[in-house]
Amino acid sequence: MSILGKQSVEETKNEVSTSALVNTFERPLDPKKRLTIPSVWRRALGSDYVYVMKEEGNPCLQLIPKGVFESRLASVQEDALSDEGLNDVLESIGEDSELLEFDIQGRIRISDRLLAYANLKGPVVMKGAIRMARLWAPENVPQRTAEESESLRAAKKRLRF
């Protein structure tokens, strides 16, 4: 933290840099509705905290590293001082998000309200999406069409992935 109480750009970059969240895992909710996050993801998240929020338009939740979430917020908060519409968006994000701490066994307890939004009752499919992950009920995981798969192959080729 700098003398002025604000973080330097370099400090912010260091907080945001996390390893990529990759792979797909399926984990059950335990009897107390806690979800165990894979240890490899906990290390990649780089913090004892994680944000979970609704994904508008999809019946799933986003699991977002603390640094990534807060970096996104920092980039819009200053603009929100003079933009009432942006304040409404921030209020919606705040309302639909939770900051959760991992317990000693790497579990988080997502609120019943968010679990209900994504229909998470039993097994949870956790799909890595590099900068975040999505949490799905198995019956809601989207299946790619052949056309979507071809489009993704072309995009990966352009990106050299």
d(C-alpha 161, C-alpha 157), whole Å: 6
Phi-psi region of 57 (alpha: psi -120 to 50; beta: other; left: phi over 0): left
- Res. 4 pLDDT band, cuts 50 70 90: very low
d(C-alpha 119, C-alpha 95), whole Å: 18
Domains and CATH numbers, the chain: 9-158 (3.40.1550.20)
Helices (H) and strands (E) in the chain, counts: 6, 8
Percent residues over pLDDT 90 in the chain? 62
d(C-alpha 121, C-alpha 100), whole Å: 19
Residues 6+ apart with CB under 8 A from 80: 86, 87, 90
Q: What's the mean pLDDT when you consider all of the chain?
A: 86
What is the mean pLDDT of the segment spanning 121-125? 96
Q: What is the pLDDT of residues 59-103, one digit of tens each?
A: 999 999 999 999 988 878 777 777 778 888 889 999 999 999 999
> Phi then psi for 101, rounded to 5 degrees?
-105, 140
Q: What is the pLDDT of residues 22-35, one digit of tens each?
A: 999 999 999 999 99
For the entire predicted model, the pTM comes to 0.81
Q: How far is CA 90 from the centre of its chain?
A: 16
